[in-house]
Amino acid sequence: MHFPRLPILLLTAVGVALSGCATKPLSSVDRSIYRTAAISPSVKMPGKYHYADLTGERARGAAAQFGLVGALAGAAVAASSEGPGRQRFDRVVAANPTDVRGLVHRHFGRTLGESKLFALTPVNPDATFHLVVDHYGVAPANKRELGGVITAEATLLDRTGKTIWSRRESAVSNTTAMLEGYEANPRLWPQVMEEATQQLTRKLVLYTDADRR
Amino acid sequence: MSVSLDQTWRRPAAASFLCALLSSCGTPADHPPGVPSSISFHVQPVYPRSYDIIASGRRNVSAQALEAAWRHKAAQVAAGRKFQVSGIATHATEEIGSIHTGYMRVPTFTQSQSVRGTLRILK
């Protein structure tokens, strides 16, 4: 008997199964080859924080269901509804500026150190972590309340610059508050970014297998 | 001959492909006994011996019921081992979609809420 296409189909199925839906965990890196690591001090960041409120999210989301024209119209509605809120939030951030770059670097280093996956050394490491923050800021996280949000990618490069591992994750702070809450207590802004960054670095460094439901 | 065998094996091969694809995305775990089937769970292993668990349900499920379901799931994941719970938070969120009424599409806003927290297995 001859099954000309069966092996190709099965090989494809096995390939998909092995590659999985999620990116590989950091613990899968061969630590017999890469024992020491450093974290690049330069963390790439966007120019400004991201601000979105529920009205804007609804306008964008609903309009996006109606194609490109809808998306553009939704973006315009969202921008007009979020404009005053963004200005108020600008004042909150100005009252209590937060070094998100430093937070990301510090929490990533701390989480990596506590995991003991690699020995951290600044001198001649086997591999170096590079961190890129795609966006950070506040967005609706609990009804109308805004939570700290952050998305970043961590990449591990070997001495030749070859990528050994890479993972992108997003995180939301546990603490959420209305815009009025942020205005009344400007310390909430550093707090939500601290929580979101902590959660983000846990996801990047410590998440292991594909998820179970 | 080759063509007919191809057709014979196409469906089983496609089924195996689908099974492999689905199994690679997540291993189904038992639903905790006594917890309504409307509550769903997401369990993420965290190195070295912790789990991030999310229990989600529609907005009509009370926050207390959702947290009780979370604790049932935590006990199930711990499987008799001693554990510590931290960082429990309840968030209500909104998903935006649309339905087609026959003449036009109408946006829909589905509200759901979730309880998330971390379970750490003690030595």
* Residues B3-19 pLDDT 10s: 444 555 455 545 544 44
Number of domains in chain B: 1
Indicate if the pLDDT at residue B27 is higher than 60.
Answer: no
Q: What is the pLDDT of residues A13-23, one digit of tens each?
A: 444 444 444 57
Residues of chain B with Cβ-Cβ distance to A147 below 8 Å are 91
The answer to the question of residue A140 being in a domain is yes
Residues of chain A with Cβ-Cβ distance to B47 below 8 Å are 25-27, 115, 117, 205-208
Indicate if the pLDDT at residue A77 is higher than 60.
Answer: yes
The answer to the question of residue A156 being in a domain is yes
Mean pLDDT throughout B17-29? 45
- Rounded to a whole number, what is the distance in Å from the CA of A42 to chain B's nearest CA? 26
| B27 vs A: CB within 8 A | yes
| A25 vs B: CB within 8 A | yes
On the 0-12 / 13-18 / 19+ scale of CB atoms within 10 A, B101 is exposed
ipTM > 0.85 for the complex = no
The answer to the question of residue A108 being in a domain is yes
CATH code for position B88: 3.30.70
Indicate if the pLDDT at residue A4 is higher than 60.
Answer: no
Domain that holds residue A166: 23-50+99-206
- Which residue in B5, B29, B91 is closest to A2 by CB distance? B5
Indicate if the pLDDT at residue A152 is higher than 60.
Answer: yes
The answer to the question of residue B73 being in a domain is yes
The answer to the question of residue A63 being in a domain is no
- Rounded to a whole number, what is the distance in Å from the CA of A162 to chain B's nearest CA? 25
Residues with Cβ within 8 Å of residue A168, at least 6 apart in sequence: A23, A134, A151, A152, A153
| A10 vs B: CB within 8 A | yes
More confident residue, A81 or A50: A50
The answer to the question of residue A107 being in a domain is yes
Question: How does DSSP classify residue B96?
Answer: E
The Cα B57–Cα B40 span in angstroms is 7
Q: What is the pLDDT of residues A172-192, one digit of tens each?
A: 999 999 999 999 998 999 999
The answer to the question of residue A159 being in a domain is yes
The answer to the question of residue A160 being in a domain is yes
Residues A206, B27: C-beta atoms closer than 8 Å: no
The answer to the question of residue B83 being in a domain is yes
Indicate if the pLDDT at residue A72 is higher than 80.
Answer: no
CATH code for position A163: 3.40.50.10610
Q: Are A196 and A139 in contact (CB under 8 A)?
A: no
Number of domains in chain A: 1
Residues with Cβ within 8 Å of residue A170, at least 6 apart in sequence: A149, A150, A151, A200
Domain that holds residue B117: 38-121
The answer to the question of residue B13 being in a domain is no
The answer to the question of residue A31 being in a domain is yes
A209 φ/ψ angles, rounded to the nearest 5 degrees: -80, 180
Q: What is the pLDDT of residues B73-115, one digit of tens each?
A: 999 999 999 999 998 999 988 777 777 777 767 767 778 899 9
Q: Are A36 and A121 in contact (CB under 8 A)?
A: yes
The pLDDT score that the predictor gives to residue A143 is: 81
